[in-house]
Amino acid sequence: MPSETINIFVDLDETLIHTLGMKTIAGDLGDESNLCDTPVTVALSKKEQYVTVLRPGANYLLFALRDFGKVYMLTRATKDYAIAMNKAFNFGFDEDKIFDRNFQKYKIPKNISQGKNFLIDDLDVRDNYEKVAFIKRFGRSGYIQIPAFYGNKEEGITHSLISDIIDDIKSNA
């Protein structure tokens, strides 16, 4: 009997990245001394540009998760914003693996197999009932809450946290 598919849905904002705000003419963001990295300006258009920092360890987390299942982005952001951040930070999601703020309206996508599903997010599960309901469409679900990322150096995803996440997925799959 084949093993059950594992689908892992990862949030974007405050989980993988933190957007400091839209770029302004003045360009002043205030004190950046505690930021984990130099902010990157991600442009959706000439008028819509976001100043964003990547969470340390975010790409390594995605790399590690892809060894255990199919990984998708599930965000309350707009599709164009999510695609731009995916490209800017080399997250490696195909566009059909990015589910934006309209995820509740999606029919069950054919590219997601039924199986055991996990949501990794900074929000408390009680604040994420829409996302939880969405992933339950694909089978049993689990929730992994990680600390929120607000751009500070000490808020990176550590090897220890990645190990805990992987252990949680393995023990609940």
Average pLDDT over residues 39-66: 92
> What is the Cα–Cα distance from 22 to 81, expressed in whole angstroms?
12
What is the tally of structural domains in the chain? 1
Asked if the structure places residue 154 within a domain, the reply is: yes
59 falls within a domain: yes
Is the residue at 24 inside a domain?
Answer: no
Residue 32 lies in a domain: no
What is the domain-level CATH number for residue 101?
3.40.50.1000
Could you tell me if residue 25 is inside a domain?
Answer: no
For residues 169 and 173, what is the distance between their CA atoms, to the nearest angstrom? 6
37 within some domain: no
Report pLDDT digits (tens) over 84-121: 999 999 999 999 999 999 887 777 777 789 999 999 99
Query: For residue range 140-149, what is the model confidence (pLDDT) as tens digits?
Result: 999 999 999 9
Task: Quote the CA–CA distance of 171 and 14 in Å, as a whole number.
Answer: 26
Does 49 reside within a domain? no
Name the β-bridge partners of 130.
none
* pLDDT one-digit tens code per residue, 144-173: 999 999 998 889 999 999 999 999 999 998
Domain span at 62: 5-17+55-172
